[in-house]
């Protein structure tokens, strides 16, 4: 693969997706509305997580929806590249109208239903229910029914929030995987909608919050942008995750939150702008039987 | 008895909760007020708070306000985890439902006082308000208030049974699962 030649790319704003799990970094993000072209350059990406997959796709799809031309440059690192192909990132970017540059490696499509839930576009409640069931079945291969159900419940809350409140014009993207030694479950859900701040601002009590403040508010019980008595989805998710040593990362607009569910360790900060709301959950499920697995990355 | 089943293994979204609520409201409107409606969660391994609130939370609030049919509702087939979800949801909504599986019967939702009152009634099976005044060592007014809330939610049933000496009195009972219930 030619490492530094980027043929066929018209000049555009370049978003450099470098290093390990680039979208986990609050520094990454930028207001891109109005630019004629955007290049997501993953040439130097060394590791990708489900959040990177879901976030990149939601971002690219939103830009395409607004008429911006989008290119995605594949990683030079062949293992990372194979992982992105295997997780169907390239296929979804293509469907969203982005142009992928770089030779995509041929990946033998072995059955990895024991560890991977490939990137999926969620367009409504039926898709969300199906994805939650798939997470349940994925986790069930490694842990007890109850723990698998907890994993499915968490992704269910995230997906329900996204399809109910985000008003994403391009749908919602989700992916999940169990990590190499089994037991570590990662879930990611990314929409390209209005963001948590705009949602909460519908309620007069929560106008004038910064994006980071809005994330803090959304993690408190009973805080909602609706006129109804609800707003317990994220706090309940944290409650479930706390039993499994869970961590939650949330990005919405230019806000960033990193939370250790079982403690009061919560970090809220301003961050680079991303469209919509992105969530990543990592939990350690108690293994029923330890299984060694290997992933393409 | 009328049977209503929630399909599994997951119940995740508000949209699905809304669909179930609509179906169950139609069913409640069609059955007589003295017929037990059994809602089975037997197939459900997990449900989100959002689904639970949209389905049971809103339904039971509407029922307590007299906006749906008056048939008593019993939920069945819950696991400890899904029961906890229902309990939390109904506690937030300040309403209750009866959970029964075979030999066990519990009140989900409400506060501790309401749960104690329900349990005391369930132990007696049939009772008058005065019985619980003695059992729980509290005032008649407290018991009347709690029984009113349980009655509105369909967690107890009552028939008028005035004493021979005059006055007005009600005989209460906790709704129970019919024998050979599929849940």
Q: Is the pLDDT of residue A176 over 70?
A: yes
Instruction: Pick the residue of B6, B10, B51, B83 with the most A CBs within 10 A to test the interface with A by mutation.
Output: B10
Chain B residues whose beta carbon lies within 8 Å of the beta carbon of residue A150: 46, 81
**Within 10 Å of residue A104's Cβ, how many Cβ atoms?**
16
Chain A residues whose beta carbon lies within 8 Å of the beta carbon of residue B16: 125, 129
State how far the Cα of A137 lies from the Cα of A125, in Å rounded to an integer. Answer: 18
Q: What pLDDT is recorded for position A2?
A: 35
pLDDT over 90 for what percent of chain A? 68
Give whole-number Cα distances, A271 to A62, A141, A169, A268, in Å.
19, 37, 23, 9
**What is the dihedral sign for C-alpha A261, A21, A255, B51?**
negative
Q: What pLDDT is recorded for position A108?
A: 81
Determine if residue B12 is left, alpha or beta; phi over 0 gives left, psi from -120 to 50 gives alpha, anything else beta.
alpha
Contact A136 B13 (CB under 8 A): no
**Within 10 Å of residue A294's Cβ, how many Cβ atoms?**
8
Contact B13 A236 (CB under 8 A): no
Q: What pLDDT is recorded for position A183?
A: 79
Q: What pLDDT is recorded for position A296?
A: 52
Q: Taking Cα atoms as reference points, which of A31, A277, A281, A53 lies closest to residue A165?
A: A277
Contact B12 A160 (CB under 8 A): yes
User: How close B12 gets to chain A, by Cα (Å)?
Assistant: 5
* pLDDT band (50, 70, 90) for residue A98: very high
Q: Is the pLDDT of residue A200 over 70?
A: yes
Q: Is the pLDDT of residue A4 over 60?
A: no
A-B interface: how many C-beta pairs under 8 angstroms? 81
Q: Report residue B110: phi and psi, to 5°.
A: 70, 180
Chain B residues whose beta carbon lies within 8 Å of the beta carbon of residue A136: 9-10, 45-46
Kindly state the tokens that stand for B73: 């509702």
Kindly state the tokens that stand for A296: 């393409």
Q: What pLDDT is recorded for position A3?
A: 36
DSSP state for residue A216 in the 8-state scheme: H
Least confident interval from A2-6, A51-55, A271-275, B97-101: A2-6
Give whole-number Cα distances, B40 to A70, A285, B34, in Å.
49, 28, 19
Strands B96-101 and B104-109: antiparallel
Q: Is the pLDDT of residue A1 over 50?
A: no
Q: What pLDDT is recorded for position A52?
A: 98
State how far the Cα of A51 lies from the Cα of A249, in Å rounded to an integer. Answer: 9
Q: Taking Cα atoms as reference points, which of B94, B16, B76, B99 lies closest to residue B52?
A: B16
H or E element, residue A185? strand A184-191
Give whole-number Cα distances, A224 to A162, A218, B82, in Å.
13, 7, 24
State how far the Cα of A141 lies from the Cα of A134, in Å rounded to an integer. Answer: 11
Interface list for B 25-54 with A (CB within 8 A): 45-51, 53
State how far the Cα of A81 lies from the Cα of A191, in Å rounded to an integer. Answer: 23
User: How close A156 gets to chain B, by Cα (Å)?
Assistant: 5
Contact B13 A125 (CB under 8 A): yes
Chain A residues whose beta carbon lies within 8 Å of the beta carbon of residue B92: 229, 232
pLDDT over 70 for what percent of chain A? 93
Average pLDDT, chain A: 89
Q: What pLDDT is recorded for position B51?
A: 96
Q: Report residue B5: phi and psi, to 5°.
A: -115, 135
Q: Report residue A22: phi and psi, to 5°.
A: -60, -35
Contact B46 A149 (CB under 8 A): yes
Per the DSSP assignment, residues forming a β-bridge with B126 are B173
Q: Is the pLDDT of residue A211 over 70?
A: yes
Q: Say which of B10, B49, B81 has its CB closest to residue A132.
A: B10
User: How close A13 gets to chain B, by Cα (Å)?
Assistant: 38
Strands B10-11 and B46-47: parallel
Kindly state the tokens that stand for A4: 């530094």
Mean per-residue pLDDT for A81-103?
94
State how far the Cα of A50 lies from the Cα of A116, in Å rounded to an integer. Answer: 10
Query: Distance between terminal CA atoms of chain B?
Result: 12
Chain B residues whose beta carbon lies within 8 Å of the beta carbon of residue A165: none
DSSP codes, B118-174: HHHHHHHSEE-HHHHHHHHT--HHHHHHHHHHHHHTTSSEEEE---TTSS--EEEE-
State how far the Cα of B118 lies from the Cα of B172, in Å rounded to an integer. Answer: 11
Which CATH topology does A13-101 take? Transcription Regulator spoIIAA (3.30.750)
Residue with tokens 């997951």: B10
Q: Is A118 on the interface with B (CB under 8 A)?
A: no
Q: Is the pLDDT of residue A44 over 50?
A: yes
* Residue in B with minimal Cα distance to A144: B45
8 A C-beta contact, residue B136 and residue B116:
yes
Contact A124 B15 (CB under 8 A): yes
Per the DSSP assignment, residues forming a β-bridge with A38 are A13, A70
- The domain locations on chain A are 13-101, 116-284
Burial of A263 (0-12, 13-18, 19+ CB in 10 A): exposed
Torsion, Cα B111 B115 B117 B118, to 10 degrees, reads 140
Secondary structure (3-state) at A229: coil
Contact B93 A229 (CB under 8 A): yes
Q: Taking Cα atoms as reference points, which of A267, A68, A54, A88 lies closest to residue A166?
A: A54
Same fold yes or no, A13-101 and A116-284: no
- The domain locations on chain B are 2-173
pLDDT in tens, A163-174: 999 999 999 999
Q: Say which of B10, B81, B88 has its CB closest to residue A156.
A: B10
Thinking of the domain A116-284, which architecture would CATH place it in? 2-Layer Sandwich (3.30)
Q: What pLDDT is recorded for position A107?
A: 80
Largest pairwise CA distance in chain A? 56
Q: Is the pLDDT of residue A5 over 50?
A: no
Low-confidence ranges of chain B (pLDDT < 50): 183
Chain B residues whose beta carbon lies within 8 Å of the beta carbon of residue A138: none
Q: What pLDDT is recorded for position A230?
A: 80
HSE-CB for A162 with a 13 A CA cutoff? 38
8 A C-beta contact, residue B47 and residue A153:
yes
> Is the bond preceding residue A135 a cis peptide, omega within 30 degrees?
no
Contact B50 A157 (CB under 8 A): yes
Q: Is the pLDDT of residue A91 over 80?
A: yes
Say how many residues make up chain B.
183
Q: Is the pLDDT of residue A231 over 90?
A: no
Which CATH topology does B2-173 take? Transcription Regulator spoIIAA (3.30.750)
């Amino acid at each position: 693969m030619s490492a530094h030649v980027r043929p066929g790319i018209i000049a555009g704003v370049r978003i450099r997706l470098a290093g390990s799990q680039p979208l986990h970094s609050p520094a990454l993000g930028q207001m891109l509305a109005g630019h004629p072209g955007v290049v997501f350059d993953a040439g130097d990406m060394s590791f990708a997580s489900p959040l990177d997959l879901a976030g990149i796709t939601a971002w690219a799809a939103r830009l395409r929806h607004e008429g911006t031309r989008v290119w995605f440059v594949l990683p030079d690192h062949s293992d990372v590249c194979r992982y992105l192909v295997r997780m169907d990132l390239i296929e979804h970017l293509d469907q969203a109208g982005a142009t992928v540059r770089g030779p995509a490696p041929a990946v033998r499509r072995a059955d990895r239903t024991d560890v991977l839930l490939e990137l999926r576009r969620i367009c409504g409640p039926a898709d969300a229910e199906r994805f939650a069931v798939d997470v349940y079945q994925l986790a069930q291969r490694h842990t007890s029914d109850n723990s698998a159900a907890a994993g499915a419940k968490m992704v269910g809350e995230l997906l329900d929030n996204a399809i109910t409140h985000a008003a994403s014009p391009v749908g919602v993207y989700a992916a999940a995987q169990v990590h190499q030694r089994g037991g570590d479950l990662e879930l990611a859900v990314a929409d390209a909608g209005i963001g948590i701040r705009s949602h909460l601002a519908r309620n007069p009590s929560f106008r004038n919050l910064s994006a980071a403040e809005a994330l803090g508010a959304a993690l408190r019980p009973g805080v909602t942008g609706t006129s109804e008595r609800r707003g317990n989805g994220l706090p309940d998710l944290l409650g479930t995750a706390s039993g499994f040593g869970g961590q939650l990362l949330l990005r919405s607009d230019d806000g960033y939150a990193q939370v250790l569910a079982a403690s009061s360790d919560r970090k809220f900060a301003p961050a680079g702008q991303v469209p919509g709301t992105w969530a990543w959950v990592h939990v350690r499920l108690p293994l029923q039987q330890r299984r060694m697995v290997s992933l393409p990355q | 008895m009328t049977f209503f089943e929630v399909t599994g293994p997951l119940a995740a979204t508000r949209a699905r909760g809304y669909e179930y609520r609509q179906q169950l409201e139609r069913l409640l409107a069609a059955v007589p007020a003295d017929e037990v409606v059994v809602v089975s969660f037997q197939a459900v391994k997990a449900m989100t708070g959002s689904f639970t609130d949209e389905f049971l939370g809103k339904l039971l609030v509407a029922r307590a306000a007299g906006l749906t049919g008056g048939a008593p509702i019993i939920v069945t087939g819950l696991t400890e985890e899904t029961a906890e979800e229902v309990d939390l949801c109904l506690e937030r909504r300040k309403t209750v439902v009866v959970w029964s599986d075979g030999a066990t019967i519990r009140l989900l939702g409400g506060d501790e006082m309401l749960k104690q009152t329900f349990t005391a009634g369930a132990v007696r099976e049939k009772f008058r308000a005065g019985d619980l005044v003695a059992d729980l060592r509290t005032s008649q007014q407290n018991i009347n208030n709690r029984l009113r809330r349980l009655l509105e939610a369909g967690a107890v049933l009552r028939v008028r049974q005035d004493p021979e000496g005059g006055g007005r009195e009600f005989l209460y009972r906790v709704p129970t699962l019919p024998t050979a219930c599929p849940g």
